[in-house]
Amino acid sequence: MKRIIGHRGWASLAPENTIHGFKLALEDDRVWAIECDVHLTKDRKIVVAHDPFLGRCCNATGRIADYTYEELLEFDFGGWFGEEFKDTKIMLYSDLLKMIDGKKRLVCEIKSEFGLNNEIVPYILEESKGVPKEMLCFKSFDHRIMKALSDAGCEYDLGLLFMDKPHLMVEELKACGCNFISMLYYNYDQKIFDELKEAGIDCYAWTVDSIENADYMYQFKNHEIAIITNKPQLFWEY
């Protein structure tokens, strides 16, 4: 089975990081895992959203970190995508965990623009208690957060995100206590795959949204890449 991960739920068919996309991905057996993004609110609740600022996917402005969870519930996080999704509420991370209930692996990206989520580690570890080890993993562009999770004894898989090809990537991964890497898909090549396989590092690639993208990824040998995509449906007949 190809390891297909629904990006922000199923972002080509439903508003990203909302209950609608998560339900679609959860109910389709061909989707191996579900990806989400999280932030801390002003009152230290963990909510599911990609951007630190409201506006692109919400009928409000400002930073998530400047609102309480109850204040965020006043806003619409789905109407931008289509009228049928109007009045969609922002989700709590804890509610997403309850919804998935260990049925699929959750790939949770911890956002950290402007250092706003530096305090998230104890909260997310507490809220994740009880999730089976193999059904949850964390990743972030903020390598300090991953190191803090590792130092706190996190039992879940940890991954570093990179926009470009990193220098000394295996050394950095090990220094942060991480066992997988997640890069923009076209930064992978055979040499990188071979180096990561030898080091026992798993690989996730984002965002693979066309057959041409998939052809590029699946040309490489000796590594079972996990594909993060907004369009899982592209892979059913691949």
Judged on CB neighbours under 10 Å (0-12, 13-18, 19+), 159 is: buried
Residue with tokens 């969870």: 69
Average pLDDT over residues 16-27: 98
132: its two tokens? 């089976």
pLDDT digits (tens, 9 = 90+) for 56-90: 999 999 999 999 999 999 999 999 999 999 999 99
Residue 56, phi then psi, degrees to nearest 5: -65, -40
116 pLDDT higher than 80: no
pLDDT for position 170:
97
CB 108 within 8 A of CB 137: yes
pLDDT for position 115:
75
Average pLDDT over residues 3-7: 97
Q: With CA atoms as reference, report the closest residue to 185 among 210, 160, 208.
A: 208
Task: Report which of residues 136 and 117 the model is more confident about.
Answer: 136
238 pLDDT higher than 90: no
pLDDT digits (tens, 9 = 90+) for 119-129: 999 999 999 99
1 pLDDT higher than 80: no
pLDDT for position 46:
97
74 contacts: CB under 8 Å, gap ≥ 6: 60
pTM over 0.75: yes
117 pLDDT higher than 90: no
How far from each other are the two terminal CA atoms of the chain, in whole angstroms?
12
222 pLDDT higher than 80: no
pLDDT for position 122:
97
Q: With CA atoms as reference, report the closest residue to 31 among 213, 236, 208, 237.
A: 236
pLDDT for position 221:
85
Q: What residues pair up with 48 in beta bridges, in sequence order?
A: 38, 91
CA distances from 10 to 22, 112, 204 (A): 7, 23, 17
Average pLDDT over residues 89-97: 98
Please, what is the angle between helix 93-100 and helix 120-127, to 10°?
30
pLDDT for position 74:
98
pLDDT for position 237:
84
223 pLDDT higher than 80: no
DSSP state of 134: G
Q: With CA atoms as reference, report the closest residue to 205 among 107, 124, 102.
A: 107
140 pLDDT higher than 90: yes
Structural domains for the chain? 4-235 (3.20.20.190)
Residue with tokens 């995508």: 81
Pairing of strands 46-48, 33-40: antiparallel
The chain-wide mean pLDDT, for the chain, equals 96
pLDDT digits (tens, 9 = 90+) for 154-182: 999 999 999 999 999 999 999 999 999 99
173: its two tokens? 């991964």
Average pLDDT over residues 25-33: 97
83 contacts: CB under 8 Å, gap ≥ 6: none
Pairing of strands 226-229, 4-6: parallel
pLDDT digits (tens, 9 = 90+) for 33-43: 999 999 999 99
